[in-house]
Amino acid sequence: MITKFVMPEVIFGSGSISQVGECSLRLGAKKVLIVCDPGIIHEECLEIILMSCKEAGMDYVIFDDLTVNPKDFEVEKGKALYLEHGCDSVIGLGGGSAIDVAKAIALLSTNKGTIHDYEGIDRIHAPLPPQIMIPTTAGSGSEVSQFSIIIDSKRKKKMTIVSKSLIPDIAIIDPQTLSSKSPQLTAATGLDVLTHAIEAYVSVAATPLTDVQATNAIKLVGQYLRPSVASRSNKEAKTKMAMASLQAGLAFSNAILGAVHAMSHAVGGRFPFQHGDVNAILLPHVMEFNLLACPDKFATIAEMLGEDRFGKSTIQLALSGIENVRRLSKDIGAPKSLKDMGLHSDHIKEMSITALEDACMITNPREISIVDVERLFHQAL
């Protein structure tokens, strides 16, 4: 079997964001569009990045007109700003929303049409401008992935855009940026990391290269997410969670994902919920559904989360891993059900149809029908 593993240049470590100006120069950039979350504007990390750009003699323009679960019209605004100011490169700074928008703007700066034309797999033809992505959460993994997720505001649907062209040139991961995040955001993004790692590990497109990244990410989340939520100043926990996010991102970028993300995208297209919160609710239910397809892998997941194999059958061990995931979510205060978040059964039929059409469903380890998806949604209510 022939496999491929793709990734950007990765710079990892405390204080690494100060290298962004030098990195931009290496890529031939002269004027960058900095795409960031609105909340980043007053954070120290943006000041460091702007200073680095100034020291490198780099002009820049800032675009922060975006929301959680970013929309198609926000991408259009960013593209217009990029072209108006004659930018030649893009820096994405923030969580998955900012980085996904940054990628989409880069895409449209050199490719014709609208972002809707690129929904699906490998529809990008023209090369993209240089891209540097800097995550400030742990996190979406978008800084190393070939994904961009953007909402079609008319269809109320998250579009999954997949292309190796979306893989940034450089990803800068600085654990220091995580210390300003609230416990609630740390919990939500950390459970997103766990979902990435688990879905990549059981994906039908998994390989030995992705398995190494995924299993290590699962182990790190099991050990360090609780202390990371408990304390903003725990440097070891922040560094380990930054590494977990990076490795989970590398895993799912190459192995893709599964039913949790397909269903979560369907929810996120209609409701302004935190993506990680939705994943946390759906994950144990989808794990139970998928267990039949690969019990050995789910048993390994349990071991990575600290469960003892002694005296347990493969199925018993796998089930204990699913309960471990439930305990973790409870311990860090994740929402318990979709109903608690404000979702009602009226939306399930339509969301199930949308989820079944999502590209992430292709690599789910167990075949899944519309009836199965609806049942899973009802279980998560």
Arithmetic mean of pLDDT, 21-45: 94
86: confidence class by pLDDT, cuts 50, 70, 90: very high
3: confidence class by pLDDT, cuts 50, 70, 90: confident
Distance CA 306, CA 303 (A): 5
What is the helix (H) or strand (E) element at residue 35, kind and residue range?
A: strand 31-36
342: confidence class by pLDDT, cuts 50, 70, 90: confident
Distance CA 255, CA 358 (A): 15
| Measured CA distances, 284 to 256, 264, 265, 281 (Å) | 19, 13, 17, 7
Q: Which CATH superfamily does the domain covering 181-380 fall into?
A: Dehydroquinate synthase-like - alpha domain (1.20.1090.10)
Please say if the pLDDT value at position 2 is more than 90: no
175: confidence class by pLDDT, cuts 50, 70, 90: very high
On average, the pLDDT of the chain sits at 96
Please say if the pLDDT value at position 42 is more than 90: no
Distance CA 375, CA 380 (A): 9
CB 205 within 8 A of CB 257: no
pLDDT in tens, 103-114: 999 999 999 999
Arithmetic mean of pLDDT, 25-54: 94
pLDDT in tens, 185-225: 999 999 999 999 999 999 999 999 999 999 999 999 999 99
Please say if the pLDDT value at position 1 is more than 80: no
Please report, for the chain, the start and end positions of each structural domain, with discontinuous segments joined by +. 9-177, 181-380
Confidence (pLDDT) at 20: 97
344: confidence class by pLDDT, cuts 50, 70, 90: confident
Please say if the pLDDT value at position 138 is more than 80: yes
CB 372 within 8 A of CB 282: no
pLDDT in tens, 47-70: 999 999 999 999 999 999 999 899
Confidence (pLDDT) at 305: 98
Arithmetic mean of pLDDT, 237-259: 98
CATH of domain 9-177: 3.40.50.1970
pLDDT in tens, 287-337: 999 999 999 999 999 999 999 999 999 999 999 999 999 999 999 999 999
